[in-house]
Amino acid sequence: MTKKNIILSIVLVVLISISVGLGFWQKGPAAQFDSQLFALEDINQVDRIVMTRGSEVMDCRAFSQGFLINETYPMDQNLMLVLASVLQQARIQRPLSTQQQPEGWKLLQDKGTFIQVYAGETLLREFWAGGDASLQQSYFAQDQETIYLVNLPGYSSYLGGLFELDISGWRSKNIFQSTWRSILSFNMENLQDPQKNFRIDYRDPFFSVPGIQKLDSNRVINYLQTLGAMRAYQLVDSSPQDEPWLRMTTVDINEKRNVVLTLYRSDSLILGTTEEQAYLFQPQQIAPLIQEVDYFRRQEGPEDQGED
């Protein structure tokens, strides 16, 4: 064997040794966990999620339009979509260090949520979820033995904050459950200026607005769709201190969806109340609905000339 071949052989042995060494070390902590430990293969089978935070229990069960909390409150659909993504796509980045484990477990116990996921009577997953808001780090754990740092691919916000919400945070902030296809009537009352009142009634095959003969059908549909999408900024426990400003009343095919919302004017946040709940709104959330009857009048174009 020539000197050159000997050198190449030595280099090859060294490279093989390094490769074997790297393979050994990669089988250390990084390979001792399943990065998809908390993820479900089939989210569609989930029909019940129980979230326990302190003494508060939220038993969320599937129904025709989403999930219902404690058989009473619809769950916020946007948060439900995020939760579904977490249950299906959450990924473990690494276990916390030995020094971080006790503090991580304490945060989960003090501020986090214990989650149980069911398909029928079958328990699919149960784990703790929360995190460290100051570090913007999210933690999951099956028990106190190992706390994992987790993330949701493509989700940049603090994931742990989702599991620090109380029941009011999880509740739907949508006010009206009606759609333009199910609503029978909508009544807008300006309680401080009644001349600005108007109503929209369904008169088969379409809607009518008293006082308007030539109706802009697109504006009617857009208005009712905006009404159906109306969301509060926050749920609150407050009583009105001022005189009422606006009252919005919907009558739906399904009488359980009928709503009377009363609004109280403010320079900042606007208080709104229904029979069951008080809400806060930002002015821009209300503004698109504050119209007068002429808003629904069809603007005349050349094709309207000469009409009676």
Residue range 160-205, pLDDT digits in tens: 999 999 999 999 999 998 999 999 999 999 999 999 999 999 999 9
Q: Is residue 175 part of a domain?
A: no
Question: Which pLDDT value is given to residue 211?
Answer: 93
Domain count, the chain: 2
Question: What is the rounded distance in angstroms from the CA atom of residue 13 to the CA atom of residue 8?
Answer: 9
Residue 287: its pLDDT value, please? Answer: 95
Neighbours of 12 (CB within 10 A): 10
Shared domain check, 255 and 201: yes
Residue 276 lies in a domain: yes
Q: Give the pLDDT band of residue 66 (cuts 50, 70, 90).
A: confident
Instruction: Compute the average pLDDT of residues 67-92.
Output: 93
- What pLDDT sits at residue 13? 41
pLDDT of residue 27: 37
Interval 19-63: pLDDT, tens: 334 333 333 344 477 899 999 999 999 999 999 999 999 999 998
Coil, helix or strand at residue 280: strand
- Which stretch of 22-36, 77-91, 104-118, 154-168 has the lowest confidence by average pLDDT? 22-36
Position 266 scores a pLDDT of: 81
Closest by Cα among 90, 94, 130 to 109: 130
The Cβ of residue 247 has, within 10 Å, a number of other Cβ atoms equal to 15
pLDDT > 50? residue 15: no
154 and 251 inside one domain:
no
Closest among 122, 157, 154, 124 to 138, alpha carbons compared: 157
Per-residue pLDDT at 21: 42
Residues 95 and 125 grouped into a single domain:
yes
End residue of a domain, out of 109, 139, 170: 170
Answer yes or no: do 226 and 157 share one domain.
no
143 with 211, same domain: the answer is: no
Measuring CA to CA, which residue among 59, 36, 37 is closest to residue 117?
Answer: 59
In this structure, of 23-32, 97-106, 113-122, 187-196, the range with the lowest mean pLDDT score is 23-32
**Same-domain check for residues 154 and 248:** no
Domain contains 57: yes
At 300, the pLDDT band (50, 70, 90 cuts) reads confident
Instruction: Choose one of 143, 170, 197: the last residue of a domain.
Output: 170
Residue whose C-alpha is closest to residue 280's, from 227, 235, 241: 235
Inside any domain, residue 13: no
- pLDDT at residue 305, as a whole number: 53
On whether both 155 and 190 belong to a single domain, the answer is no
Q: Residue 113: its pLDDT value, please? A: 97
The verdict on residue 21 lying in a domain is: no
Q: Identify whether 4 is part of a domain.
A: no
- Whether residue 165 sits in one domain with residue 192: no
Strands (DSSP E) found in the chain: 48-53, 56-63, 66-69, 73-74, 91-95, 113-119, 122-132, 137-143, 146-151, 183-190, 198-203, 206-208, 234-236, 246-252, 259-264, 270-273, 278-281
Q: What's the confidence (pLDDT) of residue 82?
A: 93
Q: Whole-angstrom Cα distance, residue 136 to residue 134?
A: 6
- CB count, 10 Å around CB of 225? 11
Does residue 292 share a domain with residue 225? yes
Q: Tell me if 11 is assigned to some domain.
A: no
What is the per-residue pLDDT for 81? 93
155 within a domain of the structure (yes/no): yes
Does residue 7 carry a pLDDT above 70? no
The reply to whether 160 and 190 lie within a common domain is no
Looking at residues 205-223, what average pLDDT do you find?
A: 95
Confidence of residue 301 (pLDDT cuts 50, 70, 90): low
Instruction: Pick 287 or 66 by higher pLDDT.
Output: 287
Give me the domain span that covers residue 187.
183-299
Q: Same domain, yes or no, for 107 and 213?
A: no
Say if residue 164 is in the same domain as residue 220.
no
Q: Which of 122, 147, 170 is the last residue of a domain?
A: 170
